[in-house]
Amino acid sequence: MENNALQKLRAWAFKQRGGIWTVLFLVILVLARPLPGRIVPGLILVLLGQLLRFWGVGCITLYRGEEVKAQRLATWGPYALVRNPLYVANGLLGLGWAWMSGNVPTLVFAAAFYVLYGVLIVPHEEAFLARKFGREYEDYKKRVGRFVPKNFSREALSHVGAGGYDASILLKSEIHSLLVTVVGTALILSRLWW
């Protein structure tokens, strides 16, 4: 059985993930010393992250809130490739911002991302999903990697199109994230001049 203090920390981190993400962005912004040669690769990472968010959000209905919740286990779309595509997307966004900002912000981001998502948030969510979906979730874990695809076999790719996609969810739930991405990117780029 897991340590109760660690469980409480994980639950707290899940609830506070938006605020923690904001603090991490501000640290990157303060440390930022953008290099012109890193801007385009950084922007590509940011764009890929936002596109992955759009894809992932359209495949699920519940993803915001202070408590872990799921009506059903999403195993299609990007969830057929990785179990946590929204966090992979956040990782790409943050890495893009950090990469544009220089080496120190990139190292800070990588370490913080590992602790925040790899040690705290994702294990908290996985415990919930294992309790709620049992064997179905265990089979899914065996087939699909946490952050990196395990394989691109025909069988794995057959799950990509197996579920639905609802673009209207983007208008309801993802406008805020898109705004954060645009403003965050503009602020990082503004560090070229101050």
pLDDT digits (tens, 9 = 90+) for 171-194: 888 898 999 999 999 999 999 998
76 — phi, psi (to 5°)? Answer: -120, 180
Residue 59 tokens, joined: 């495949």
- Going by C-alpha positions, the residue among 129, 99, 136, 104 that lies closest to residue 14 is 129
pLDDT digits (tens, 9 = 90+) for 8-51: 999 999 999 999 999 999 999 999 999 899 999 999 999 999 99
Q: Tell me the three state secondary structure of residue 163.
A: coil
Mean pLDDT within 107-132: 96
Which residue, chain included where needed, has tokens 């294992």? 130
- Going by C-alpha positions, the residue among 89, 93, 84, 149 that lies closest to residue 120 is 84
Residue 77: DSSP 8-state: G
The predicted model scores a pTM of 0.92
Identify the pLDDT of residue 118: 97
pLDDT digits (tens, 9 = 90+) for 81-105: 999 999 999 999 999 999 999 999 9
